[in-house]
Structure 1
Amino acid sequence: MTGTEAIIRKPIDHDNHIVPSLDGADVNTVVEALCYRAIHNCKQTAFVHLTDGEDNEILITYETLWGKARSIAHLLQPYEPEGKRVLMLFETGIQYVAALFGIFLSRAVAVPSFPPVGSRALDRLHSIIKDAQPEIILVNKTMSRYRDRVLAEKTDSDASDHCPVWIEVDDLDLQTPRITLDSDCFPKPEDLALIQYTSGSTSDPKGVLLTHANLFSNCRTASIWMGGRRHRIGCSWLPPYHDMGLMGGILQPVYEGFKTVLLSPGHFVQRPLRWLQAISRFNATITIAPNFAFDLCVESISEDERSQLNLTSLEDIYCGAEPIRKATLDRFNDYFSPVGFHSTAFGPCYGMAESTVFVSGKPRGTEPLSIRVNQSALTEGHLLLADNNATQAISLVSSGRAATDHIIMIVDPDTGHPVTEARIGEIWVQGTNVGAGYWQRANSTATFGASIEGIAGTFLRTGDLGAIMGGELFVTGRLKDLIIIAGRNHYPQDLELSAQSADPRIRNNGVVAFSIEQPDRGEVLALAVEIQRSEKCSQAQLEEIHRAITAILVRHHGISPEEIHFCPMGTIPFTTSGKPQRQATKRSFIEGSLRPYAVSDKSNRPINQ
């Protein structure tokens, strides 16, 4: 190592951080953490579920949550659950939390999934069931009604002898035998805890193998990053079957022992105001959200509704799961600062299911760091700070510094050699948050077992592109999504943001950019563009939007789209974390199955120049 490689290495700093000890208890798993809370914080509220997203609430204490988890573990015992895969089908809520810990306590392997509501959700669930082959499916009465729909995809080619047992968990008896901290039945740190399926933004969902040690490590490193144990009240609407919602909205609160308010993703999307109302009502200090949530709030919450909010309690709002846009953070801060929001609460971070969730983040209590970089240099593969008056510049938001005990390296994806400061390469990660591999995937070693000469241990190849400048990580995009035309690198999110700004009739977050192969020209740029539902565009109006998009892409990026496919809202597929599925959109476009926009003259042809 020369000392010039792009690397972030973060050792534990015992002088400046308080490593959470759960008050000195010998606790090594999140199950033991919940048991500890049930004994020492028994009457404290653990979770509040807003069943309608607003006023109707169900509370549960740590003592009662522990009792429900024990009851579910007891219910599973006749099926000899240890080591078996248990698929979870629950809506957001307390039942989900209790079921998760009940599965853990039975030493089974949880497979988080989501309700089979809607064709896309059902298709994803079918793919998870086919891959995971769960021995048990745990449901409540509401989800049990979907049994026929869930199993409808089973075919003769699907392990014909595999038939999962369905178990309902409603109305459980809480009077099961007491389990104490020294019980031999607790899972061990090295035991497999869950199979966390990835969001599938560039490929089909893959199941990440996470041990109890991984979950506990993620909680520990996140707690250190958050400033150690302190008074907190959480609020989360993120789906608990997604890595960020599961870790940030359920396991972290139990680890730290703070009350958390839960809303369903559906209630948030239907009315984003509910999220900020819950923060105001419960004086929440910490919450989590992806980039698109901030845009939704600004666009949908009126000034009168905003005036009823009080966000002064909010100290930390962690944002990740998709590229973080400076303009989005600025808009949210400008709009909600009159009701007490402060920009230091923003906590841009970076992570993925393969690392449990947490890799890096902004130091607490500081302003988010952003830089303006030269656009030409960016396309050539490195970060170069732009002049103050430069017009061809792009803003990048830092994803902070590495988690404690973790190493981030920027590596040439072709050679496997580290690159120098400010050069763009693939992000590689090493540390105890990194999972054990993919479930039933032969190529796990290539992803989780990468090595770098001169550094002990193996690295996770994230598939993300980024660079390190001044010790800060800047994520620039996905390796598989990178668009290379005429030898220049174009990041799809930059093209999408420019195209979206071309005309107000384009839906916010409704543009996907990808490359397609043409025999006579090689790789060319194509766009899928969703039109606002409220707009009724004629052919001439689409041609006008087409010209505006082309003009802004040529002006800002020096590239002209070969194809622009206009489509109605709801056409572009998104992951469970709100990221556009660019490769799926590209496949649908090539196959001719991407829905066209129905123009007033009934012509459904994509408009091309």
Structure 2
Amino acid sequence: MEKTLTGWSEIIEAQAERLGERILYGLLDKNGEIIDSLTFSGLRDSVRSTSAKLQDITKRGDRILLAFDHSLEFIVTFFACMQAGCIAVPQPFPMREEEFVRIEKVADDCSPVCVLTSRTHREALTNSLRQRSSLQKIDVVALDDIADAPVGEGAPRLSDSPTAFLQYTSGSTSNPSGVLISQENLVHNSRVIQSKFNLHADSVGVNWLPFYHDMGLIGTVLQPLYTGFPSYFINPIDFIFRPSRWVEAISRYRGTCCGAPDFGYALTAAKMSEENVAQLDLSSWSVAYTGAEPVKPETLQEFMNKFGVAGFKFSSYYPCYGLAESTLMVTGGDCAREPTILEFDIATLTEGRAVLSYAGAPGQEIVSCGVPFPDSEVKVVDPQTRVECSAGSVGEIWVKGPSVARGYWGSSRASRFDAEVSDGNGSGYLRTRDAGFVWNSELFVLGRLDDAVSLNGKVIYPADLEAKVSNLSPTIRSGGVAAFVTNPHTSPRLKIVCELRSLRHSERSELKSLIKSRLRADYGIRDCDVIFVGSGKIPRTPNGKLRRVECARIHQETL
């Protein structure tokens, strides 16, 4: 933006004044047609009206749980919460048992005054929540059922509350925690994303990411508003049922800034036929960002192999690293060059050191996640001693900068957001609990420390094992492998769960032997249990991350 603004009320007003009736958001149906839209001025007017309604039923600082389907009503309500001085708590609209359980945990943590949803879903959601004792007293409200309140001539002002909204973590390794995201966090992260991605008024977003997820909310909703370009939305469910809808819409609307976690690229490449690819034109796609989970080199290559003929360029890939506790993005590369992919020696990686592999030795390709923002810091620190690691040494990633949140809602874990390097080399860092190392000033991420597998004195990250196994057979579903250890403190046992597309029973023994022999050769793993399950049987969070802890619980005694 030309003028530095510090709050989203000001940004909405300024962009409506500047861009008026230009389209900002477009919601697409299953055929890629626009079924609902908002202009910049339309967003301003809708947010004002909704904010006035909210001020009649809430007070400043109230937490409001948002449970909408993938609609523009969610976006309007989210901004209206900020203008009314309330704290929005975005959640997936609950349809499955695990989503209701998640809402119970979130509600128990932040005590929302009500659940906001659409008029269409209010009755059904009310009945569902009434069946759960912990949620019976929470009102379910549809703003359409509230009489319009008078809206003043000026724009509603933001609350003095430092918290803009609560971004709950995925809960892939523990219960979800509500990250306190401030207005300043959002503006700073939006500014640096705009700069890193080289975004401008002629950019176009086409995405399917859920609005309740940080990448979907900040990357595809807030960023287009901040910079001033149109953003088109595909329902995530429509994407899952037919992933080709994403690239078809990018081709149709000339998308330039479009992204997804690794599994989104893998699924799209696997499900689209060569014949349909030939009908696409992806030459406009200049920033294909990928993050939220480990970026797999094989996924980048498979997607490129499939869509290169449609004009997609390898240089468009933009691997990045981030987490909810730092609003969204922490590091990223250079839009002007291809991503860095290096092969490191597996044996030394398991010992905590990064060394480039040499001919004949088992290696692991890892994608660089770039460098931190100019006004932010990233260190790799030994998680036990808190001494900063030398370049190439594996440790915990620590982050410091204006995008880092204040902490968790109602939590005593403030020390995680104010860590100090023990050798006096800095304080005030966020401990990410992610493992990685720095090589040539670039960050390489290995995975979650809490997921690390310790076997025979070696530390192995499940994502590496999962990637290795996934590539062994086309019958293993892309992204459908989970690696974990059961009984880690008594009799540790590595287990590999694989989702199979199809495989004759007589061939399963051969595939098990292949998996075991490859892990023995590359990682020195003498034995493990290999378990085959059907597609979709590995537990995941609402945004698609593997729930390895839950998977380990399910398969604790499986042989």
- Which amino acid is the alignment partner of residue 109 of structure 1? I
Q: What are the Cα deviations for residues 343-369 of structure 1, in whole angstroms up to 9, with x where unaligned?
A: 111100000111111100111121011
1:57 corresponds to 2:32: no
- 1:527 — aligned with what? 496
1:244 corresponds to 2:222: no
Moved over 3 A (4+): 170-176, 178-181, 453-457
Q: Sort the Cα spacing of 1:44 and 1:519 in 2 relative to 1 into closer, same or farther, 3 A.
A: closer
Q: Sort the Cα spacing of 1:174 and 1:458 in 2 relative to 1 into closer, same or farther, 3 A.
A: same
Distance 2:309 2:46 in 1: 43
Q: TM-score, normalised by structure 1?
A: 0.88
- Which amino acid is the alignment partner of residue 2 of structure 2? D
- 2:555 — aligned with what? 589
Q: Does the 8 A contact of 2:207 with 2:258 survive in 1?
A: yes
State the number of aligned residues.
Answer: 557
Shift of 1:264: 1.2
- 1:309 — aligned with what? 280
Return the structure number with greater helix share: 2
- Which amino acid is the alignment partner of residue 154 of structure 1? S
Q: What are the Cα deviations for residues 193-236 of structure 1, in whole angstroms up to 9, with x where unaligned?
A: 11111011211111111111111111112112123545211111
1:407 corresponds to 2:386: no
> What SS does structure 1 have at the residue aligned with 2:429?
strand
Correspondent of 2:132 among 153, 156, 161: 153
- Which amino acid is the alignment partner of residue 556 of structure 1? D
Q: Sort the Cα spacing of 1:556 and 1:365 in 2 relative to 1 into closer, same or farther, 3 A.
A: same
Q: TM-score, normalised by structure 2?
A: 0.95
Correspondent of 1:433 among 371, 380, 403: 403
> What SS does structure 1 have at the residue aligned with 2:133?
coil
> How do residues 210-249 of structure 1 correspond to structure 2 at under 5 angstroms?
210-227=181-198, 229-249=200-220
- Which amino acid is the alignment partner of residue 582 of structure 1? R
Q: Sort the Cα spacing of 1:575 and 1:365 in 2 relative to 1 into closer, same or farther, 3 A.
A: farther
Distance 1:178 1:274 in 2: 42
Shift of 1:525: 1.1
What is the CA RMSD across the aligned residues, in angstroms? 2.0
- Which amino acid is the alignment partner of residue 408 of structure 1? V
- Which amino acid is the alignment partner of residue 572 of structure 1? I
Q: Sort the Cα spacing of 1:151 and 1:411 in 2 relative to 1 into closer, same or farther, 3 A.
A: farther
- The gaps in structure 2 that reach 5 residues or longer are none
- Which amino acid is the alignment partner of residue 141 of structure 2? I
Q: Does the 8 A contact of 1:202 with 1:582 survive in 2?
A: yes
Q: Sort the Cα spacing of 1:53 and 1:242 in 2 relative to 1 into closer, same or farther, 3 A.
A: farther
- Which amino acid is the alignment partner of residue 158 of structure 2? F
Shift of 1:141: 1.6
- Which amino acid is the alignment partner of residue 103 of structure 2? L
Shift of 1:261: 0.3
Q: Sort the Cα spacing of 1:432 and 1:518 in 2 relative to 1 into closer, same or farther, 3 A.
A: closer
Q: Does the 8 A contact of 1:321 with 1:577 survive in 2?
A: no
- Which amino acid is the alignment partner of residue 23 of structure 1? E
Distance 2:273 2:494 in 1: 37
1:463 corresponds to 2:433: yes
Distance 2:503 2:282 in 1: 38
1:79 corresponds to 2:57: yes
> What SS does structure 1 have at the residue aligned with 2:451?
coil
Q: Does the 8 A contact of 1:207 with 1:439 survive in 2?
A: yes
Correspondent of 2:521 among 555, 559, 582: 555
Q: Does the 8 A contact of 2:201 with 2:228 survive in 1?
A: no
- Which amino acid is the alignment partner of residue 120 of structure 2? T
Distance 2:121 2:406 in 1: 31
Q: Sort the Cα spacing of 1:393 and 1:536 in 2 relative to 1 into closer, same or farther, 3 A.
A: closer
Q: Percent identity?
A: 31
Q: What are the Cα deviations for residues 223-262 of structure 1, in whole angstroms up to 9, with x where unaligned?
A: 1212354521111100010011010010111111110001
Deviates more, 1:556-565 or 1:426-435: 556-565
- Which amino acid is the alignment partner of residue 113 of structure 1? Q
- 2:176 — aligned with what? 205
> What SS does structure 2 have at the residue aligned with 1:289?
coil
Q: Does the 8 A contact of 1:53 with 1:267 survive in 2?
A: no
